[in-house]
Amino acid sequence: MSTVERELLKKVNEKIDLIEPTTGKLFFEHKTELIFCKPHLMPLKTQALERLEEMHRETARQLQKKRNNPEKSTSQEQQASSPST
């Protein structure tokens, strides 16, 4: 390191005097410290998504039931559609 560089480093490391303006406005920037809180467990799925999946499962069960018992479901549909007197 040359002597010129050493002198520049000394000047930089010296205390810098603060010059405050006598007129005008002076602004300060306030930086807040980061505050960490305890970690919380977050749900992987929202409640709406869970309800939607439950509706899909229920309709799939009903469809499977109709496919497994076609004669029962058709006879029940016919009874429901025919007017009883």
What does pTM read for this prediction? 0.35
pLDDT in tens, the chain (85 residues): 678 877 777 776 666 666 776 777 766 676 777 878 888 888 788 889 999 999 999 999 999 999 998 766 555 656 666 655 4
Of 76, 49, 53, residue with least CA distance to 65 = 76
Measured between its terminal Cα atoms, the distance across the chain in Å is 110
Contact 62, 55 (CB under 8 A): no
Q: What does the pLDDT read at residue 64?
A: 93
Q: What does the pLDDT read at residue 79?
A: 63
Look up tokens 């069960």; give the residue. Answer: 61
Q: What does the pLDDT read at residue 36?
A: 84
Residue 55 CA to residue 21 CA, distance in Å, equals 69
The continuous run of DSSP H or E covering 68 comes out as: helix 47-68
Q: What does the pLDDT read at residue 12?
A: 67
